[in-house]
Amino acid sequence: MPTSLVIVSDTHVPKRARALPPVLWDAIEAADLVIHAGDWVEVALLDELEARSARLVGVVGNNDGAELRARLPEVATAVVDGIRLAVVHETGQATGREQRMDVAFPDIDLLVFGHSHIPWDTVSPAGMRLLNPGSPTDRRRQPAGTFMTAIAADGRLRDLELVAVDPPRRG
């Protein structure tokens, strides 16, 4: 049976926004699996995502403190409908990323990462898909905040969508 995914990173709650956008919460509550690639900032968001998600796979980011580091790994792996998935916060500079990740994650079909706040969707020379959902709360140089949705089914990722959101205000 297909698995619906929400892919998110760099939420930075409450530093960049007081809360996640309502459209993201709606997607989270409807998804079979939520993937978070780090930079939560405070543990309260992890608690809320755990409570509102059917299943959560997450990692710590460079802005996450000791309490989050005690609960989340730096690298998470899972098999989702035949897709070998890894999640990590940082992958380094964009130049050469695909080749470096092929070496670092030789047995992975899908690598989700964050850190840059810039959406990314490429395929490595070895055939690994690399996805960065951007940030729903801190768009930086992007036209809007973003997250991704997709379907995992029979070892394939399909219906990938980059969803643009207006980040909630911090104040």
Cα 18 to chain centroid, rounded: 19
pLDDT-derived band at 140, boundaries 50, 70, 90: confident
Residue 171 has pLDDT above 60, yes or no: no
Tokens of 170: 């911090």
- pLDDT tens sequence across 153-162: 999 999 999 9
Cβ atoms within 10 Å of 15's Cβ, excluding its own = 14
Question: Is the four-CA dihedral 42, 74, 61, 3 of positive or negative sign?
Answer: negative
**Torsion angle defined by CA atoms of residues 59, 148, 46 and 76, in that order, rounded to the nearest 10 degrees:** -20
> CA 127, CA 125: separation in Å to the nearest integer?
5
pLDDT-derived band at 1, boundaries 50, 70, 90: confident
The phi and psi torsions of 150 (rounded to 5 degrees) equal -165, 175
Edge-to-edge, what's the strand order for the sheet holding 156-165?
56-58, 33-36, 3-8, 145-153, 156-165
Place of tokens 């380094």: 92
Residues 152, 81 contacting (CB under 8 angstroms): yes
Which of the 8 DSSP states describes residue 169?
P
> CA 64, CA 2: separation in Å to the nearest integer?
32
More confident residue, 125 or 142: 125
- Taking residues 31-55, report their average pLDDT: 97
pTM of the model: 0.95
Residue 170 has pLDDT above 80, yes or no: no
The domains of the chain, with CATH numbers, are 3-165 (3.60.21.10)
- Taking residues 86-110, report their average pLDDT: 97
Residue 126 has pLDDT above 60, yes or no: yes
Say what the pLDDT of residue 31 is.
Answer: 98
pLDDT-derived band at 167, boundaries 50, 70, 90: low
What distances in angstroms separate CA 3 from CA 36, 105, 112, 158, one per listed residue?
16, 23, 16, 10
75-90 burial code (b ≥16 CB/10 A, e <16)? ebeeebbebbbbbbbe
